[in-house]
């Protein structure tokens, strides 16, 4: 365990609220997730949701390269925010 390396990237949501982060995150989303993000009532929530969820999916695929970012499945709860 002592020989294992863990890389951790930390960022603030405000730092990823740029068009490049939005454009990179959108293709990584599952189609239903993309639809939910597009239904947000407030634009600022959409601009944060898409890069954040895309980044989550991209980082998971970095650990498990044989799973495409859009192929990850997550459990959602009753109170979603769109």
Nearest to 25 by CA among 6, 42, 4, 11: 11
Contact 57, 70 (CB under 8 A): yes
pLDDT per position as a tens digit, 54-77? 888 888 898 889 999 989 887 766
The DSSP output letter for 15 is G
The answer to whether residue 51 scores a pLDDT higher than 70 is: yes
**Mean pLDDT, all residues of the chain:** 79
Using CB atoms within 10 A of its CB, is residue 80 exposed (0-12), middle (13-18) or buried (19+)?
exposed
The answer to whether residue 81 scores a pLDDT higher than 60 is: no
pLDDT of residue 48: 82
């Amino acid at each position: 365990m002592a020989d294992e390396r863990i890389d951790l990237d930390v960022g603030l949501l405000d730092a990823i609220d740029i068009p490049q982060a939005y454009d990179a995150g959108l293709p990584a989303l599952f189609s239903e997730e993309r639809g939910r993000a597009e239904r947000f009532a407030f634009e600022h929530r959409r601009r944060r949701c898409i890069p954040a969820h895309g980044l989550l999916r991209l980082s998971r695929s970095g650990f498990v390269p044989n799973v495409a970012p859009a192929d990850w499945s997550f459990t959602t709860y009753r109170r979603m925010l769109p």
